[in-house]
């Protein structure tokens, strides 16, 4: 084969080995092997020019230091200026090393032991070297881009919010990359969440209005967008703060979308607004003040405006808190107490309205720490009506306890004297009727006083009461008082405790008394039993009073069961109401059923355990257990 | 170097190899076996494992002993320095990771044997890896092992046992001189390889490889190529892959399937091939030149040693009765001459590129001095 043809053929085959590889190193490796094979050379290297000199990209052999010829070539390369290419060295006789420029990349070094590369071939290598340089440059750029992309992707994936890279083409915006959080949030989609994004982005070029409902910051200068938007997620609709940022560079239609999930924030805002509306519309006054003898209003609701008969909330501006007190000293005392205790409940205070009317208010509050120091969060309930009713009850109580009872004593005494002076049996029976009525009225008066005392002790109690001990106590008292009656306690030996005070004993005594006194049997019998039951999912103690009497009239039972009396449906006395109110105040229930014979009345109270028991040892529980 | 040739098997063979390995100047064994030796027999493997020195070798179509080719028996060559034996497994699956499996070090030379029936790309990858790693820093000689009529059978071994689809390498600290020549000359071409895969050429110049090859032979020579006796004719007309400043690399076609021609060794797509032809004189002259080159290498020239010849079995088939003349031409230096007839040869000459050849005579002058 002619030498020229052989050269052209070899150069062509070298050209085949340039390019087509994945990485810079693979490209350089393959090309260098091609050069050496086709030129029948033994050593070589491709070197990249850097600021610090030439660094090897590929060498044959892998360790160039072990080969004298290649080492000589590398040494020469280090001292070679860019204008000195191509260059040649012959470190030992017959061994030749050639240095070629790889434009804008570095250099190619080829060594042939015991032979030369002829001049024509060396000259013919120039276009191949340029092609090799271009391939290496491209791979270097690719590698740099790949490294940049890897860094970008690492950041992309590290961002805990959904983020997507999009391009706009023919008016359609498509996702070309997204992070894992994006896919987790919006699913596997190439469509941008929120359909208004494209017009938003493209309109910024023309300055037309955007389609977002609430753009926060749309900078038409650099096409950045920040807005709230609703997007469909895999879990349903979600609220997002959307940031759209154009990718800098030639690709003006590429954008980065960042979605900050503000669903919870929006929900909390909604809840807060609802809460604010609720507070605003409460029929009680809710307000925030600064502490101190005077105090300053920081926030008031409409309820306080209404209670204090103000025209508007403006009434409270520049007005000290103490000004709404009838006695400003009470404000100072209240402030001191609240600061000292941190929280107060149901403090009754007198206020003066904007119209000059005095009212009673019940105030509860807590101290809250803010950046500006402590503030009072307060609730005021108008209790003027209740206070007036209490006054009325006090008056009635006084009337019952003193005036009515004194009058009845006078009537009773006069009736006794009248009865003693009468011989006529019929007239005497009339007098005795008067005496019985008077006695009933006295009893009723006593019971009314007792009922009053029920409410004086407030609702509920934290005192534990040993139910068995209480039942035994009640039974003994009635057997002593009514020897003809049988009051039996059938309860387990193990103590059962409920939260109750003396009102439970009052209720039990009333029921046992009714069962004995209104019994038509020769021997009234009353059985008291206890049992643990579940009430509304919580443990409770059921106290059952069963008698053998005639039963409770239906109309009295109905009044108790419905909790109200009507002109047509009312009881004959206060006894059952006393029981009903006592149980209601203690947080219990009462159930009345027919027994055979007689009546079965069950009282249900929440059961408490040993902790409450230990509390009872130092509280009023001892008094309850003793029956006092 | 101490040598032993044996036609024995079993315990006798073991005793002979044990005796050789126990000699004072023997630190390792290079074992070249012929197909008459059942290397898959347990006794052979036991013998290998029992040897006290590193051992590696292969099964070849024939071996050369005392200047004569032999079709039976086993040749053991005692290496005066301890070889570093490396096995490259699963050669057909070889990839770029191959470089890392090659030993580092400063050995002078290496005997490399590959499974000739392994994937051609795998063999090519090994050759590339050897050159990338060592270049001419390591003088490499060897060839393809295996039976001419077979494949898929174990044909290589070390002291650890028998292996297939692999390569074995014994790196030694002895300087060697290498001569590589074939004596084939271009008679047709070049033809561009437009469709090829591994060692199979499907198209030349965009046409059926068989038809182009057939026409090239029948136009430029007196021979006629038939599919039925393809190998008999093709063995005289191998392909040549040209390179500057050197003999073309020979690729030996051995089978045809439709339009595709299969060769020993890879034929890269895109390269140019020529059709070569030879005559006994040119081939014998080439072998003689190879021996002269090997013996005139500087470290070798003034010393004593052994000629290790790896000559292609297809040269033997082509030269037939005149092959003895080729052996005699190589044997002119007065050094003991041993070796094998291989299926493809591996060599660099210490100055040029490392390659896998076909139909080539590789002569290594191995110095007795370490």
**HEC states along B286-355?**
HHHHHHHHHHCCHHHHCCCEEEEEEEEHHHHHHHHHHHHHHHHHHHHHCCCEEEEEECCEEECCCCCCCE
Residue A481: partners with Cβ closer than 8 Å, 6 or more residues away: none
Domain boundary among B226, B256, B277: B277
Percentages of chain B per state (helix, strand, coil), in multiples of 5: 30, 35, 35
Q: Which of A9, A30, A34, A97 to mutate to test the interface with B (most CBs of B within 10 A)?
A: A9
B18 in the same domain as B97: yes
| Residue A401 scores a pLDDT above 80 | no
Closest-CA distance of chain A to residue B110, Å:
16
The answer to whether the Cβ–Cβ distance between B244 and A6 falls below 8 Å is yes
Q: Where are the beta strands (DSSP E) in B48-206?
A: 55-59, 62-65, 68-70, 74-79, 84-88, 109-115, 139-145, 156-158, 161-163, 167-172, 176-181, 185-197, 200-204
The answer to whether B369 faces chain A, any CB pair under 8 Å, is no
Give the DSSP per-residue string, B213-226: HHHHHHHHSS----
Rg (CA), chain B: 20
Structure token digits, residue B112: 């490399």
pLDDT of residue B96: 67
Distance CA B302, CA B294 (A): 12
Task: Name the closest residue on chain B to residue A3, using Cα atoms.
Answer: B244
B21 in the same domain as B163: yes
Closest-CA distance of chain B to residue A13, Å:
6
**SS3 state of residue A306:** helix
> Averaged over A62-89, what is the pLDDT?
90
Closest-CA distance of chain A to residue B242, Å:
7
Distance CA A276, CA A290 (A): 20
Q: Is the dihedral of CA B247, B116, B281, B285 positive or negative?
A: positive
pLDDT of residue A205: 44
Long-range Cβ contact pairs of A94-101 (< 8 A, separation 24 or more)? A95/A68, A95/A69, A97/A43, A97/A69, A97/A70, A97/A72, A97/A73, A98/A73, A98/A122, A99/A73, A100/A125, A100/A126, A100/A129, A101/A129, A101/A133
| Strand B305-312 with B337-342, pairing | parallel
| Cα atoms in the 13 Å half-sphere on the side-chain side of A299 | 11
B207 in the same domain as B156: no
Task: Name the closest residue on chain A to residue B104, using Cα atoms.
Answer: A63
Contact A27, A21 (CB under 8 A): yes
Instruction: Among A444-453, A501-510, B52-61, name the one with the lowest average pLDDT.
Output: A444-453
Instruction: With a cut of 50, list the residues of chain B below it in pLDDT.
Output: none
Distance CA A455, CA A298 (A): 37
pLDDT tens column, A540-569 = 999 999 999 888 887 777 777 776 665 555
Locate all alpha helices (DSSP H) within B51-152, ordered by sequence: 98-101, 120-134
Question: Considering CB atoms only, which of A1, A29, A43 is closest to B135?
Answer: A43
B87 in the same domain as B41: yes
| Residue A171 scores a pLDDT above 80 | no
Give the DSSP per-residue string, A429-462: HHHHHHHHHHHHHHHHHHHHHHHHHHHHT-S---
**Chain B CB contacts of A10 below 8 Å:** 242-244
The answer to whether the Cβ–Cβ distance between B244 and A7 falls below 8 Å is yes
Task: Name the closest residue on chain A to residue B191, using Cα atoms.
Answer: A9
Closest-CA distance of chain A to residue B43, Å:
41
Cα angle B311-B315-B318, degrees, rounded to a multiple of 5? 165
pLDDT tens column, B70-94 = 999 999 999 999 999 999 988 888 7
Domains of chain B: total? 2
B88 in the same domain as B11: yes
Largest CA distance in chain A: 172
> Averaged over A592-608, what is the pLDDT?
89
B40 in the same domain as B120: yes
**Chain A CB contacts of B97 below 8 Å:** none
Distance CA A10, CA A12 (A): 5
Report CA dihedral (A550, A556, A557, A559) to the nearest 10 degrees: 180
Range of the domain at B165: 3-181+283-367
The answer to whether A42 faces chain B, any CB pair under 8 Å, is yes
pLDDT of residue A330: 95
Cα angle B123-B273-B267, degrees, rounded to a multiple of 5? 20
Q: Does a cis peptide bond (omega within 30 degrees of 0) precede residue B75?
A: no
Domain boundary among B277, B296, B328: B277
Contact A257, A284 (CB under 8 A): no
B104 in the same domain as B37: yes
Q: Which of A27, A38, A119 to mutate to test the interface with B (most CBs of B within 10 A)?
A: A38
| Strand A464-466 with A358-370, pairing | unpaired
Question: Considering CB atoms only, which of A42, A61, A113 is closest to B133?
Answer: A61
The answer to whether B136 faces chain A, any CB pair under 8 Å, is yes
pLDDT tens column, A208-263 = 434 443 344 555 566 678 888 888 899 888 889 988 888 765 555 788 889 999 99
Backbone φ, ψ for residue B204 (5° rounding): -125, 130
Instruction: Among A32-46, A604-618, B116-130, name the one with the lowest average pLDDT.
Output: A604-618
CB pairs under 8 A between A and B: 85
Question: Considering CB atoms only, which of A37, A42, A61 is closest to B243?
Answer: A37
Hey, how many other C-beta atoms are within 10 angstroms of the C-beta on B57? 26
Determine what percent of chain A is predicted with pLDDT higher than 90: 40
The answer to whether the Cβ–Cβ distance between B136 and A38 falls below 8 Å is no
Contact A314, A297 (CB under 8 A): no
- Measured in residues, chain A has a length of 628
Q: Give the B window 223-242 contacts with A, CB below 8 Å.
A: 242
pLDDT tens column, A1-21 = 667 788 888 888 899 899 888
Backbone φ, ψ for residue B223 (5° rounding): -80, 160
Q: With CA atoms as reference, report the closest residue to B180 among B351, B366, B370.
A: B351
Q: What is the 3-state secondary structure (H, E, C) of A15-27?
A: HHCCCCCCCHHHH
Task: Name the closest residue on chain A to residue B246, using Cα atoms.
Answer: A40
Distance CA A257, CA A248 (A): 14
The enclosing H or E element of A106 equals strand A106-112
Q: Taking phi first (over 0 means left), then psi (-120 to 50 degrees means alpha), and beta for anything else, what does residue A613 get? A: alpha
Question: Considering CB atoms only, which of B189, B242, B353 is closest to A42?
Answer: B353
Contact B267, B191 (CB under 8 A): no
Average of per-residue pLDDT values in chain A: 85
b/e A338-347 (16+ beta carbons within 10 angstroms → b)? beeeeebeeb
The answer to whether B351 faces chain A, any CB pair under 8 Å, is yes
**SS3 state of residue A304:** helix
Largest CA distance in chain B: 61
What number of H helices and E strands is found in chain A? 18, 23
The answer to whether the Cβ–Cβ distance between B242 and A10 falls below 8 Å is yes
Distance CA B221, CA A174 (A): 66
The answer to whether the Cβ–Cβ distance between B244 and A67 falls below 8 Å is no
B148 in the same domain as B14: yes
**Chain B CB contacts of A118 below 8 Å:** 245
Domain boundary among B223, B256, B277: B277
Distance CA B278, CA A496 (A): 119
Q: How confident is the model at residue A148 (pLDDT cuts 50, 70, 90)?
A: confident
B287 in the same domain as B272: no
N- to C-terminal Cα separation, chain B: 11
Residue B237: partners with Cβ closer than 8 Å, 6 or more residues away: B187, B213, B216, B217, B221, B223, B225, B253, B275, B276, B277
Cα angle B34-B36-B39, degrees, rounded to a multiple of 5? 75
B102 in the same domain as B38: yes
b/e A35-58 (16+ beta carbons within 10 angstroms → b)? bbbbbbbbbbbbbbbeeeebebbb
> Averaged over A490-497, what is the pLDDT?
84
Distance CA B190, CA B205 (A): 9
Distance CA A603, CA A544 (A): 6
Q: Give the A window 102-131 contacts with B, CB below 8 Å.
A: 112-115, 117-118, 121
**Chain A CB contacts of B135 below 8 Å:** 42-43, 60-61, 67, 70
The answer to whether the Cβ–Cβ distance between A38 and B133 falls below 8 Å is no
**Chain B CB contacts of A45 below 8 Å:** none
**Chain B CB contacts of A5 below 8 Å:** 190
Q: With CA atoms as reference, report the closest residue to B32 among B67, B2, B6.
A: B6
Structure token digits, residue A147: 């490294």
The answer to whether the Cβ–Cβ distance between A16 and B271 falls below 8 Å is yes
N- to C-terminal Cα separation, chain A: 133
Read off the DSSP letter of residue B46.
H
pLDDT of residue A565: 60
Q: Is the dihedral of CA A198, A201, A205, A206 positive or negative?
A: positive
Residue B72: partners with Cβ closer than 8 Å, 6 or more residues away: B7, B34, B35, B36, B37
B325 in the same domain as B234: no
Distance CA A196, CA A530 (A): 71
Determine what percent of chain A is predicted with pLDDT higher than 70: 89
The answer to whether the Cβ–Cβ distance between A10 and B106 falls below 8 Å is no
Closest-CA distance of chain B to residue A3, Å:
8
pLDDT of residue A621: 41
ipTM, 2 decimals?
Answer: 0.83
Q: Does a cis peptide bond (omega within 30 degrees of 0) precede residue B320?
A: no
B152 in the same domain as B53: yes
């Amino acid at each position: 084969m002619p030498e020229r043809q052989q050269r052209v053929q070899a150069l062509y085959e070298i050209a085949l080995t340039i390019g087509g590889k994945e990485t810079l190193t693979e490209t350089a490796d393959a090309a260098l092997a091609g050069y050496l094979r086709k030129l029948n050379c033994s050593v070589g290297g491709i070197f990249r020019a850097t600021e610090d000199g030439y660094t090897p990209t590929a060498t044959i052999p892998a360790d160039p230091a072990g080969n004298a010829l290649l080492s000589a070539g590398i040494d020469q390369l280090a001292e070679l200026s860019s204008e000195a290419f191509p260059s040649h060295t012959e470190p030992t006789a017959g061994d030749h090393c050639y240095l070629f420029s790889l434009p804008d990349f570095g250099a190619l070094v080829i060594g042939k032991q015991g032979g030369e590369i002829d001049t024509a071939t060396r000259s013919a290598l120039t276009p191949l070297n340029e092609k090799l340089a271009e391939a290496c440059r491209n791979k270097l750029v690719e590698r740099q881009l790949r490294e940049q992309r890897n860094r970008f992707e690492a950041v992309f994936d590290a961002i805990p919010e959904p983020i997507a890279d999009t391009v706009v083409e023919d008016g359609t915006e498509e996702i070309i990359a997204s992070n894992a959080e994006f896919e987790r949030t919006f699913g596997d989609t190439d469509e941008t969440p929120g359909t208004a994004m494209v017009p938003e982005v493209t309109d910024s070029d023309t300055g037309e209005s955007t389609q977002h409902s609430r753009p926060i910051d749309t900078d038409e200068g650099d096409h950045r967008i920040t807005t709230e938007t609703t997007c469909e997620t895999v879990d349903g609709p979600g609220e997002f703060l959307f940031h759209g940022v154009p990718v800098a560079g030639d690709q003006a239609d590429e954008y980065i979308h960042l979605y900050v999930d503000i669903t919870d924030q929006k929900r909390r805002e909604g809840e807060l607004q609802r809460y604010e509306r609720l507070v605003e519309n409460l029929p009680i006054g809710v307000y925030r003040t600064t502490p101190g003898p005077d105090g300053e209003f920081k926030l008031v609701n409409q309820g306080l405006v209404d209670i204090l008969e103000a025209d508007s909330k403006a009434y409270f501006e520049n007005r000290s808190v103490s000004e709404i007190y009838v006695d400003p000293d009470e404000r100072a005392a209240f402030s001191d107490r609240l600061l000292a205790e941190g929280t107060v409940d149901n403090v009754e205070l007198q206020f003066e309205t904007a119209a000059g009317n005095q009212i009673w208010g019940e105030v509860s509050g807590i101290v809250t720490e803010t950046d500006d120091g402590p503030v009072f969060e307060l609730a005021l309930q108008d209790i003027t009506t209740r206070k007036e009713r209490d006054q009325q009850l006090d008056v009635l109580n006084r009337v019952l306890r003193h005036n009515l009872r004194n009058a009845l004593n006078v009537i009773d005494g006069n009736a006794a004297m009248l009865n003693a002076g009468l011989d006529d049996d019929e007239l005497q029976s009339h007098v005795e009727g008067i005496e019985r009525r008077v006695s009933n009225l006295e009893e009723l008066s006593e019971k009314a006083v007792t009922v009053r005392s029920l409410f004086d002790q407030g609702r509920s109690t934290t005192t534990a009461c040993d139910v068995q001990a209480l039942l035994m106590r009640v039974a003994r008292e009635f057997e002593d008082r009514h020897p003809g009656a049988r009051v039996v306690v059938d309860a387990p030996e193990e103590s059962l405790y409920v939260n109750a005070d003396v009102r439970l004993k009052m209720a039990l005594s009333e029921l046992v008394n009714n069962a004995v006194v209104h019994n038509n049997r020769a021997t009234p019998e009353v059985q008291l039993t206890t049992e643990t039951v579940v009430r509304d999912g919580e443990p409770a103690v059921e106290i059952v009073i069963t008698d053998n009497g005639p039963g409770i009239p239906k109309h009295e039972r109905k009044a108790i069961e419905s909790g109200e009396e009507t002109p047509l449906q009312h009881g004959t006395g206060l006894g059952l109401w006393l029981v009903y109110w006592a149980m209601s105040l203690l947080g219990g229930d009462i159930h009345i059923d027919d027994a055979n014979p007689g009546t079965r009345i069950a009282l249900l109270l929440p059961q408490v355990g040993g902790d409450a028991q230990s509390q009872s040892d130092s509280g009023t529980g001892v008094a309850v257990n003793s029956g006092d | 170097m101490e040598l032993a040739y044996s036609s024995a098997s079993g315990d006798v063979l073991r005793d002979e190899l044990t005796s050789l390995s126990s000699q004072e100047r023997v630190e390792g064994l290079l074992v070249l076996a012929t197909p008459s030796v059942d290397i898959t027999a347990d006794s052979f493997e036991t013998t290998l494992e029992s040897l006290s020195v590193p051992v590696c070798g292969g099964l070849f179509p024939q071996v050369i002993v005392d200047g004569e080719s032999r079709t039976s028996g086993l040749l053991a060559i005692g290496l005066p320095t301890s070889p570093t034996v490396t096995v490259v497994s699963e050669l057909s699956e070889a990839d770029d990771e191959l470089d890392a499996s090659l030993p580092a070090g400063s050995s002078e030379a290496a005997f490399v044997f590959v499974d000739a029936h392994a994937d051609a790309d795998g063999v090519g990858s090994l050759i590339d890896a050897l050159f990338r790693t060592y270049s001419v820093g390591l003088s490499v000689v060897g060839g393809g092992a295996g039976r001419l009529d077979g494949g898929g059978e174990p044909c290589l071994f070390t002291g650890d046992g028998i292996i297939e689809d692999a390569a074995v390498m014994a790196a030694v600290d002895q300087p060697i001189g290498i001569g590589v020549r074939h004596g084939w000359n271009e008679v047709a071409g070049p033809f561009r390889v437009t469709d090829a895969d591994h060692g199979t050429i499907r198209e030349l110049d965009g046409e059926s490889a068989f038809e182009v090859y057939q026409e090239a032979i029948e136009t430029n020579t007196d021979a006629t190529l038939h599919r039925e006796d393809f190998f008999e004719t093709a063995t005289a007309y191998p392909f040549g892959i040209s390179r500057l400043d050197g003999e073309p690399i020979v690729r030996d076609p051995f089978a045809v399937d439709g339009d595709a021609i299969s060769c020993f060794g890879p034929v890269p797509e895109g390269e140019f091939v020529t059709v070569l032809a030879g005559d006994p004189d040119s081939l014998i002259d080439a072998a003689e030149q190879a021996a002269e080159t090997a013996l005139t290498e500087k470290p070798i020239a003034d010393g004593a040693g052994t000629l290790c010849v790896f000559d292609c079995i297809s040269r033997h088939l082509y030269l037939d009765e005149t092959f003895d003349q080729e052996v005699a031409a190589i044997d002119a230096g007065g050094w003991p001459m041993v070796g094998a007839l291989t299926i493809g040869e591996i060599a660099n000459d210490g100055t040029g590129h490392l390659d896998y050849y076909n139909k080539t005579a590789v002569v290594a002058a191995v110095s007795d001095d370490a």
